[in-house]
Amino acid sequence: MVNSSNIKLLNELNCETLDRLQHVLSRLDQRSYTTTNPKGNASIGQHVRHTLEFYQCLLSATEVVNYDQRKRDILIESSPEHAGTVLKEIQHQLSEESFEKQLSLETEVSADADKIIRLPSSYSRELFYVLEHAIHHMALIRVLIKDQLPDFDLEDGFGVAYSTLAYRDQQANA
């Protein structure tokens, strides 16, 4: 059973993760944000858009969450300023959510449009999923930044899973 303190913690962790992303966004120029990197066949902006839209899907879900049917807002991927505004809106919504709710996860399991499954889930489970999903895409953003902007200063924990950070800390203190 998930209690409200667990949801509060998950909301805080998501907001902290989004703060790290916002810090990077605020220092990127338009060109760096929108340039498609041939190594990853995507831009930083595309990864940011993808990440934020998963949050939007979850936060707008009432009974069913379907990340495949997200609205693809091209302005998020083309404007770091707009992405920052959307990010702040998501953080505000997260700070107001404090209760568990049952959800169903609906997802396509192949490229065939008729292969869709629905699984039982919950707000807290999906909140943990979008956190891990955000960190994963931040790791990809980290690779793009290191390739495109070698002098760009990134904090050591940007795009690194919390479990990896804890493990590294444990190893350093052993």
The answer on pLDDT for 152 being more than 90 is yes
What pLDDT is stored for residue 2 in this prediction?
58
Average pLDDT over residues 6-30: 96
Question: Could you tell me which residues come within 8 angstroms of residue 114 by beta carbon, excluding any fewer than 6 positions away?
Answer: none
Confirm if 131 and 54 have CB atoms less than 8 A apart. no
On whether the 4-168 domain is CATH 1.20.120, my answer is: yes
What is d(CA 156, CA 134) in angstroms, rounded to the nearest whole number?
A: 16
pTM (two decimals) = 0.93
What pLDDT is stored for residue 4 in this prediction?
77
The answer on pLDDT for 1 being more than 60 is no
Each domain of the chain, given as residue ranges in start order, spans 4-168
Q: Which of 43, 48, 55 is nearest to 26 (CA)?
A: 48
Phi and psi, residue 100, nearest 5°: -80, 145
The separation between CA 55 and the C-alpha centre of its own chain, rounded to angstroms, equals 7
Q: Which of 6, 1, 3, 2 is nearest to 131 (CA)?
A: 6
Q: Per residue in 21-66, pLDDT tens?
A: 999 999 999 999 999 988 878 999 999 999 999 999 999 999 999 9
Give the pairing of strands 116-122 and 102-108. Answer: antiparallel
Q: Per residue in 66-114, pLDDT tens?
A: 999 999 999 999 999 999 999 999 999 999 887 899 999 999 988 777 7
What pLDDT is stored for residue 38 in this prediction?
86
Q: Which of 40, 119, 30 is nearest to 83 (CA)?
A: 30
The answer on pLDDT for 121 being more than 80 is yes
What is d(CA 77, CA 121) in angstroms, rounded to the nearest whole number?
A: 29
Phi and psi, residue 119, nearest 5°: -120, 145
Confirm if 10 and 124 have CB atoms less than 8 A apart. yes
